[in-house]
């Protein structure tokens, strides 16, 4: 595996591959890799001739007081894992080259980024879409794979690609979970053993919502009341949001009449955790 730090070097290699008709699969990450990331790498390998993974803790998607300084990092371990998984290039750019002095150009997807995490983290998605657009220009990917745990992010990137006529296919990958059911996340490293037990309430509340719908419940208020009561049962968890949304527009859903996204975000200790489930009433696929 080759490690590239220079933007121009990465672009030169990508141009060479494209000239030779070699398809490029891409997985952008902020590092501290886990099996969820590696599942994206495996999917990219299935869909392309070569695979590029980027590792870049993007400063523009962190707001004031957020965790960029303590965001977990272990580049040596990450490179070892990516070597094992047959990644062709790991792109590890410098922040000062990604954002030149006087940088002032940003990409913004408007409506999709307003609710949910966009409401809680103003400016976050502008940072995400900007850095992803830059990475697409550098890596020149034919296909890019993103996890569905960050469902709103996935929708925003798809919208950006469609609106700006970017020549890259966006593929979503289902949430990968730990054996205890918690959605894999680099921020799980923040959790103490007791906090990890508390964090299991997110997945359990999603399971309960699905059971309610399978038993015939369609009223969104009833479903969300049950979800919130499960999340708040006991100490140690603070709900950021628990909402039912349309899985394409992210408009609020009050009555389930088709596939519906149940999106959760909660604070457990120092960690802000996300989880979601696409819930479909029986017979409404």
**pLDDT tens across the length of the chain (285 residues):** 999 999 999 999 999 999 999 999 999 999 999 999 999 999 999 999 999 999 999 999 999 888 799 999 999 999 999 999 999 999 999 999 999 999 999 999 999 999 999 999 999 999 999 999 999 999 999 999 999 999 999 999 999 999 999 999 999 999 999 999 999 999 999 999 999 999 999 999 999 999 999 999 999 999 999 999 999 999 999 999 999 999 999 999 999 999 999 999 999 999 999 999 999 999 877
- Strand residues in the chain grouped as ranges (E): 2-4, 24-29, 50-55, 89-91, 143-147, 169-173, 237-245, 260-268, 271-279
- Residue 62 and residue 58: Cα distance in Å, rounded? 8
* Known catalytic residue at 124: no
Catalytic residue among 37, 96, 124, 173: 37
φ, ψ dihedrals at 257, nearest 5°: -125, 10
In the numeric block, the tokens 């790498």 are attached to 41
């Amino acid at each position: 595996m080759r490690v590239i730090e220079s933007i121009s070097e990465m672009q030169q290699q990508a141009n060479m591959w494209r000239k030779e008709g070699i398809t490029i699969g891409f997985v952008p990450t902020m590092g501290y890799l886990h099996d969820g990331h590696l599942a994206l790498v495996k999917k990219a390998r299935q869909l392309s001739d070569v695979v590029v993974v980027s590792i870049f803790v993007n400063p523009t998607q962190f707001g004031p007081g957020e965790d960029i300084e303590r965001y977990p990092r272990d580049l040596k371990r990450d490179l070892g894992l990516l070597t094992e998984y047959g990644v062709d290039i790991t792109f590890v750019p410098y922040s000062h080259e990604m954002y030149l002095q006087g940088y002032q150009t940003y990409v913004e997807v408007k409506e999709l980024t307003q609710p949910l995490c966009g409401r809680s983290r103003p400016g976050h998605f502008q940072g995400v879409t900007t850095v992803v657009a830059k990475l697409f220009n550098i890596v020149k990917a034919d296909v890019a794979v993103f996890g569905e745990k960050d469902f709103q992010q996935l929708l925003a990137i798809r919208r950006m690609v469609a609106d700006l006529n970017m020549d890259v296919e966006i593929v979503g990958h289902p949430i990968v979970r730990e054996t205890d059911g918690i959605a894999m996340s680099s921020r799980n490293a923040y959790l103490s053993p007791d906090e990890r037990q508390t964090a299991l309430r997110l997945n359990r509340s999603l399971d309960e919502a699905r059971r309610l719908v399978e038993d015939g419940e369609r009223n969104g208020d009833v479903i969300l009341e049950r979800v919130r009561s499960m999340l708040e049962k006991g100490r140690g968890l603070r709900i950021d949001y628990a909402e039912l949304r349309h899985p394409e527009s992210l408009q609020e859903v009050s009555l389930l009449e088709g596939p519906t996204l149940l999106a959760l975000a909660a604070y457990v200790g120092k960690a802000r955790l996300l989880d979601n489930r696409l819930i479909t009433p029986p017979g409404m696929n």
